[in-house]
Amino acid sequence: MLLKIDLGSNGIKTNGDKCIPDFLSTNPPIKELSLNDNRLDDNDAFHIGEALLSNTQLRLLNLRGNALTKKGKRVTRLRSTFGISPPDISALQSISDANLNAVSRANHTCKIQGISNQVKNLFNDGHRSAKVVRGMKLFSLIWHRHREDQTTSQLQSEFLDEGVKLVPHVMACINTYAAKFPKRKCLSVLFELARDWKTPEMYQLRHSENCHAVKLT
């Protein structure tokens, strides 16, 4: 079975053709794809990043040495590894503004070389499982929000009335990946969430359930 494809230094210029992203979107069993030192542009990189959203097989993609601009690298990075849609990318001021649901749906398996500015714990490394990488991304995103005092407001805007049901899962996520980060980070985030996010609602819900149980008995 073919697991590695090296198309580096072949002068590849697509002229808008999408054969490469179309191939990747079918989720073939390829583990490594080298497209370095070709003539791929920002548009090519974006479509490849888009294709990676439906690809769980590829572990390494080399885009070094192509005609990508700084803006093109950023768009590809945010689309593929954070799942952020193009309209939202243009308005993005900070990584803290990224949507947790979008990040969860992003690619967590493929390390992309050649798009630079890869922040630790926010990018794929090609070795960890998708579940671990996704959890680390989500926690890192929550931590960045915490530093900017945006955790509660962002969670409320994202989950609205469903927030109460998600509190245990968010807490569990933080606890699960605590070993990957300094303890003070986890404690700070947990304290803020316990203090400000859905605590009154959880108390009211629990109180309502207890009252209902008493009536039934």
Nearest to 141 by CA among 99, 107, 96, 93: 96
Rounded to the nearest integer, the mean pLDDT of the chain is: 81
- Residues 34/8, Cβ–Cβ less than 8 Å: yes
Q: Is the predicted pLDDT of residue 206 greater than 70, yes or no?
A: no
pLDDT digits over 3-34, tens only?
999 999 999 999 999 999 999 999 999 999 99
Under CATH, which architecture does the 1-127 domain have? Alpha-Beta Horseshoe (3.80)
Nearest to 117 by CA among 86, 148, 85, 71: 71
Place 192 in a pLDDT band, splitting at 50, 70 and 90. confident
Domain with CATH 3.80.10.10 in the chain: 1-127
Give this prediction's pTM.
Answer: 0.77
- CA–CA separation, 108 and 59 (whole Å): 9
pLDDT: which is higher, 63 or 82: 63
pLDDT of residue 114: 93
Place 178 in a pLDDT band, splitting at 50, 70 and 90. low
pLDDT digits over 76-97, tens only?
998 998 898 888 887 777 777 8
